[in-house]
Structure 1
Amino acid sequence: MPANGDRNSPRKHSERLDALGIQLPTPPTPLGNYVETSLVGTLLFTSGILPFVDGKLLFTGRLGVDLTVEQGQEAARYAALNALAAASHFLGDMDRIQKVVRVGIALATTEAFTQHAAVADGASDLFAQIFGKEQGHTRLVSGVYSLPVRTPVVLDVVFEVVVQ
């Protein structure tokens, strides 16, 4: 497969994950009364996904005081992996995902923190590796004072999927 993850390549997204040495984690479970994914037409929406690793938050705290930009990027990447795991679990096949349409990222930050885009690139770079940079996605990143369970990152994704 071309390094840019060309959508027209005969390789599938699951094969691209294997080539990158990435294994999807166990899909996340809701922390409240909601579902992790919802399909509307050809769009699959995820709920807010946290950077859980083996059932525990990867990091806790706020960017700019407790965590570095690099730790934020890692948290965003793990949240993106969890979003892919939720989507794959719902669809039954990762290869039904056509592209990432939109990524929303909320970051727990200090008032002075300004590197939101750099942190969000932790998720965006992962999606570009898997689906191809040329596919692109829209993105909204915001900083907030606090997030549930002291997570530094909450990510939601809209995927375009093949409906069966």
Structure 2
Amino acid sequence: MTVEKRLAELGIILPEAAAPAANYVPFVAAEGLLHISGQIPFDEDGRLIVGRLGETMDVEAGQQAARRCAIGIVAQLKAAVGDFGRVKRIVKLNVFVNSALDFTAQPEVANGASDLMVALFGEAGRHARSAVGVAVLPRGVAVEVDAIVDVR
């Protein structure tokens, strides 16, 4: 089954790949690896998903924010390679979680992004990962995710 079919089955419509908000590029290809810059979560209406896990958001809301970041990663991937058939493997996700001092469920929040990659890319979506709690993220968003992808 193709990634496009999986997206359709999941009811996901890819947004336009987000333009950089500062002095960087959305992705860089180097020696077969595509490095995708951090993506922040936008809801279906294009509004930022803001909040702090363990304070104003629970794990489930954080997982949804992480999933929306992963959708942004997939949109950037599509913009970079055009054809998802060129994706050999999702190599690594780095997931940054805007966390209250006593919040320790970053791995569970990160599963929102990881689960989507596996749902879309199957075994090729299984990846290495870091899930890190941080004091603040740009624009007050709940989660930010970047990726490294092996492409043909």
Q: Which residue of 2 aligns with 1:7?
A: none
Q: Which residue of 2 aligns with 1:3?
A: none
Give the Cα separation in 1 of the matches to 2:6 and 2:61. Answer: 25
Q: Return the match for 1:51 from 31, 41, 59.
A: 41
Q: Which residue of 2 aligns with 1:132?
A: 122
Q: Which residue of 2 aligns with 1:72?
A: 62
User: Are 1:99 and 2:84 matched, yes or no?
Assistant: no
Q: Return the match for 1:146 from 133, 136, 145.
A: 136
Tell me the alpha carbon deviations over residues 55-106 of structure 1, each in whole angstroms, 9 at most, x when there is no partner.
421x212100011111100000000000100110121223322221000011
Higher mean alpha-carbon deviation, 16-25 vs 101-110, is at 16-25
Give the Cα separation in 1 of the matches to 2:55 and 2:8. Answer: 36
> Using a 3 Å threshold, how does the CA distance of structure 1 residues 89 and 73 change in structure 2: closer, same or farther?
same
Aligned residue-pair number = 151
Q: Secondary structure at the match of 2:64?
A: helix
Gapped runs of 5+ residues in structure 1? 1-10
Higher mean alpha-carbon deviation, 20-29 vs 136-145, is at 20-29
Runs of 4+ in 1 over 3 A off after TM superposition: none
Gapped runs of 5+ residues in structure 2? none
**TM-score, structure 1 normalization:** 0.86
Give the Cα separation in 2 of the matches to 1:89 and 1:130. Answer: 16
Question: Does the 8 Å contact 2:88/2:124 carry over to 1?
Answer: no
Larger CA Rg, structure 1 vs 2 = 1
Give the Cα separation in 2 of the matches to 1:62 and 1:26. Answer: 26
Give the Cα separation in 2 of the matches to 1:89 and 1:151. Answer: 23
Q: CA deviation at 1:135?
A: 4.9
Question: Does the 8 Å contact 1:45/1:158 carry over to 2?
Answer: yes
Query: Aligned-residue CA RMSD in angstroms?
Result: 1.4
Q: Secondary structure at the match of 1:158?
A: strand
